[in-house]
Structure 1
Amino acid sequence: MKKSHPARLRIIGAASGIGAQDRACEDGPVAFHHSQAWHELEHHPMLDWGKTLFAPDSDGASLTGRVAELCRNLADEVALAIGANEFPVVIGGDHSVAIGTWSGVARAQAGPVGLLWIDAHLDSHTPESSYSGAIHGMPLACLLGRGDKRLLNIGIEGSQLSAAHTVVLGPRSYEPEELAFLQRMQVRIIDSDEINRRGFAPCLDDAIAIVSSAPAGFGVTLDLDAIDPQLAPGVGSPEPDGLVAYDVVEAMRRLGGLPGLKALEIVEYNPDRDRHGTTAGLISDLIGELNPIRYGSR
């Protein structure tokens, strides 16, 4: 069967840690850009590093206002890339940048999209329910239309995601309030207990069936803390146990060839905690599984 040859990849850095309690993830995109792992990818003809965006200076603005400004800028870059027939790959930064990434995709698709959210956490608090006040614990709720008004409606009016086509895969640490919110929204949650019971492959099959049926297409956001910290130590909020890195790379191999995939986001890379470039190498491997990288162009 003839391979398809989609648009070239556009890397967009989102170098912000202001949405997290530990802000070291703001160094992640630049550190990856200078890593040996990136150097091994950067000469590929289907791959370019575009802009790296930074959180705006405070200048008296609130933290939420600064996150909102960065996310608006990121949404613009993502929508521009898709409009230019490029495939956006966003490298974060803490997970609050997802508000910008998927708002930009929704704008480009002119409607809510499906999303596979791979994470150790649910990231679905609102300011009222959050225990920490950290915005990187709120982006999925914002994308579903709940949260601080400054973080809503950035791409389109209302929800940026189709809740019926959104799946959280791999969570193992979360609070009851965010679980209850996602259950009310009828978002499918496939937690670590279910994965351990059923196996990763059938759970991934279920997730793909749900997100890939979204009429406006779908995306994948990967918080690196979804993976066992023994295998991916360079993360912002490590949690014991977790997914096997090999399984996540194989998942990207499957996802990367699907025609409805509109963008990829990889977040919470903390270079201060990485060991021997292990986590940077994993990011490179994941990007390498995307269709244009594997197949080249004709």
Structure 2
Amino acid sequence: MTQSSPTGPGALRLIFPQWQGASGPSTHQLHPGVDAHDSQLSFNLGPALLELLSPDHDGPTAYVPVSTDTSDEALATVDGIYARDAVVRQLTDALAILREAAPESVVTFGGDCSVSVAPFSHLASVYGDDLAVLWVDAHPDTGVPGDSYTGFHSMALATLAGEGDAGILAALPALIPPAKILQVGLRQWDAEGIAVKERLGIKSVGITDTSADSRRILDWIAGTGAAQLAVHIDLDILDRRDFTNLPGNGSDGMRIADLVRLVADVSTVANIAGLSLTEHIPVELMRLAGLLRDLPI
């Protein structure tokens, strides 16, 4: 199979700057030099930058409208989900865009990790059992309502696998069987999320930095029988030696060259019908935005 990517005519580029999936300003520890309002919106600016920096796109582009209201009322925790009203409204809008566009492939620029729920569910409705998911993320994202952490981005993968809020699950056009999901690069987790992951039977592999590691993933894809892939990439997977706009100080992540090689390797055995890039926190640009607001310009 020749290398392929979800671009070109008919491929939808979805810009989804959702930030409400992250639970409160303490999630980002109020980045130094960034005010509290901007800190909560830290995942909101990233998608526009990803779009600006990306290669030219010859297919359609759609924008999911996302509120920037950080009032207590707008961000109220309901049924165990922080800012549930905003999350549900924006998920509904994203699904409506996907229904109307009816794309066979989708590139999504987010936003917090939950932006992958709508496009991956859409692709599952298009391809059924022929779709498998690679979830490349430092975190499991298999939390559920009632856990101690209430941000919906920590529940994204469990939701796609059919575990979570009943109202949100009912709105999705399709779910993805846990046997068709592989986590890649998991290195930060909590007991609640891991318990759900293990109960669902979602498999995982660690950081991939050799061709042998890629072979394990290729063998897993072959075992699923899927010819289509949806690949979620949370930028927190990256090593800080390559990408500094990340929380924490560790250098135990995936190198950029290894991530590019992994995506190239899997595209030789399956068509990449979905690709999400999420959780870019452009802290320096957020500080710059604050400066611009304070200058007489």
Q: Tell me, yes or no, if structure 1 residue 74 matches structure 2 residue 94.
A: yes
Q: Distance in 2 between matches of 1:162 and 1:228?
A: 30
Q: Distance in 2 between matches of 1:57 and 1:6?
A: 29
Map of 1:286 onto structure 2? none
Check the 8 A contact 2:5/2:267 in 1, yes or no.
no
Q: Identity rate of aligned residues, in percent?
A: 21
Map of 1:205 onto structure 2? 215
Cα RMSD (Å) of the superposition? 3.0
Q: Tell me, yes or no, if structure 1 residue 109 matches structure 2 residue 127.
A: yes
Map of 2:280 onto structure 1? 269
**Structure 2 matches for 1:16-27, cutoff 5 A?**
16-20=18-22, 21-22=27-28, 23-27=41-45
Q: Distance in 1 between matches of 2:259 and 2:277?
A: 12
Residues 214 and 266 from structure 1, CA distance in 2 versus in 1: closer, same or farther, beyond 3 angstroms? Answer: farther
Map of 1:120 onto structure 2? 138
**Structure 2 matches for 1:50-65, cutoff 5 A?**
50-56=61-67, 63-65=83-85
Map of 2:109 onto structure 1? 91
Segments of structure 2 that go 5 or more residues without pairing to the other structure are: 29-40, 77-82, 287-297
1:148 to 148, 165, 169: 165
So what's the TM-score if we normalise by structure 2?
0.75
Check the 8 A contact 2:182/2:204 in 1, yes or no.
yes
Match of 1:116, SS?
A: strand
CA offsets 1:186-213 (integer angstroms, 9 cap, x no match): 1111134xx5xxx543222222332453
Residues 214 and 55 from structure 1, CA distance in 2 versus in 1: closer, same or farther, beyond 3 angstroms? Answer: farther
2:266 to 248, 251, 255: 255
The Cα of 1:174 is off from its aligned counterpart by 0.2
Q: Distance in 2 between matches of 1:180 and 1:49?
A: 40
Letter in 2 for 1:169: V
Q: Distance in 2 between matches of 1:49 and 1:135?
A: 28
Match of 2:242, SS?
A: coil
Map of 1:180 onto structure 2? 195
Q: Distance in 1 between matches of 2:100 and 2:227?
A: 17
Segments of structure 1 that go 5 or more residues without pairing to the other structure are: 276-298
The Cα of 1:229 is off from its aligned counterpart by 2.2
CA offsets 1:201-250 (integer angstroms, 9 cap, x no match): 32222223324534473310000111112312234x45622011100011
Q: Distance in 1 between matches of 2:125 and 2:152?
A: 22
Residues 253 and 132 from structure 1, CA distance in 2 versus in 1: closer, same or farther, beyond 3 angstroms? Answer: same
Check the 8 A contact 1:123/1:139 in 2, yes or no.
yes
Q: Tell me, yes or no, if structure 1 residue 190 matches structure 2 residue 201.
A: no
The Cα of 1:79 is off from its aligned counterpart by 4.9
The Cα of 1:185 is off from its aligned counterpart by 1.3
Q: Distance in 2 between matches of 1:141 and 1:238?
A: 25
Q: Tell me, yes or no, if structure 1 residue 13 matches structure 2 residue 15.
A: yes
Check the 8 A contact 2:7/2:59 in 1, yes or no.
no
Q: Distance in 1 between matches of 2:134 and 2:192?
A: 21
Q: Aligned residues, how many?
A: 257
Letter in 2 for 1:13: I
So what's the TM-score if we normalise by structure 1?
0.75
Q: Distance in 2 between matches of 1:98 and 1:26?
A: 15
Residues 267 and 238 from structure 1, CA distance in 2 versus in 1: closer, same or farther, beyond 3 angstroms? Answer: farther
Residues 214 and 72 from structure 1, CA distance in 2 versus in 1: closer, same or farther, beyond 3 angstroms? Answer: farther
